[in-house]
Chain A
Amino acid sequence: MNYSDVFRDKELVQGLAKRIADLTRGRTEPLVFMEVCGTHTNAIYQFGLRSLLPPEVRLISGPGCPVCVTPNSYLDRAIALCRLPDVIIASFGDMLRVPGSSSSLMEERAKGADIRVVYSPLDAVQLAAKNPDKRVVFLGVGFETTAPTIAGSILAAKAQGLSNYFVLASHKTMPQPMAILSADPELQVDGYICPAHVSAIIGADAYRFLCEEYKVPCVVTGFEPTDVLQGVEMLVRQAIAGESKVEIQYSRVVRWEGNAKAQAMLADVFTPFDAPWRGIGVLPGSGLRIADKYADFDAELAIPVQVEELKEHKGCLCGEILKGKVSPFDCPLFGGKCTPESPVGACMVSSEGTCAAAYKYGR
């Protein structure tokens, strides 16, 4: 069975959309639900789910694209590192085109820097093993789904006795920005479409405090179109009943307690820190940096470099987009000066970025 295909069934999609329309018909105030995972953002645009929903339901995107929430200062450091003659940068592909203050990794590669795109952090460990005279730096960005894979690579490098594998770590954790956005008086969020695979790691219990403290419904939802619509239906039902609880739509993968082994790896290799988010600012305890006992693998400590002065991109609204306050269509640069081929801001780069998804699939 192909578990992606069965959850894309057209008739099911239409039936679910009709059910949501029936439930919300005649509401005067629309219900606003936020998704905080880039894969949801992409799925909602790719399958045109907004156009299937009635005007009584609005979906907005939050800070769910890992590449997009990574600030310029991180990219500037990666760029400074790639200019060292004995450094190989290994990264997931999306990072390459993200503009830093004055350059991008793509531009640096064209000028001769050794930058490799890998599928798994374990490929970067292999790269280090094969190039003992080089220092391999992996760009560790991503939320709780990706962070354990990076932890795994550090543990593998340690087990192999490698001293030339490093990680430039800027991991983020999800529940904190959701709390900040819930408390924002300028923003109306009637419910969260909670991330699918982040929740596979942290468990659905992690959102309970949002329901209790902020009275906001939370539904952990899968990525396929029927998943998203069923998740929205569950949020609608909660909102109408005046409830706020955590529910799991994506029960085929997500458990209440999450993945204990991955959580243990995170706790071993990383330490929480106050991470900077593009557009949102520094949030207490919202990121993961490498723990002191693995400091030898921390590129920031082990390979000191001079980093250029920070410059933000004029006119880019990424920060407001990541908070769900404006849509890409509100940005005067959208589609003109800023396109996926020549992005001005990070939200236009990754396929999980709201601007890139809006550009590719339209409204």
Chain B
Amino acid sequence: MKNRVRELREKREWSQGELGERLAVSRQTVNAIETGKYDPSLPLAFKIGKLFGQRIEALFEFDEETR
């Protein structure tokens, strides 16, 4: 799944650790989400969306090739 988490985080000048703290996940989990190696659960995706003031569809894009 492609996502805009890194772009939005960098826009706010947050480190991965800072974002992790806000989402109550580890820095490594943030990194795995940003690099597309891990697709977050629905509650976590909603939490990310709420934090950045975005709808989930605007944040995550389903990528058929990576399935």
Whether A and B are associated in the same complex: the answer reads no
Residues of B in contact with A (beta carbons under 8 Å apart): none
Residue positions of A touching B, CB distance < 8 A: none
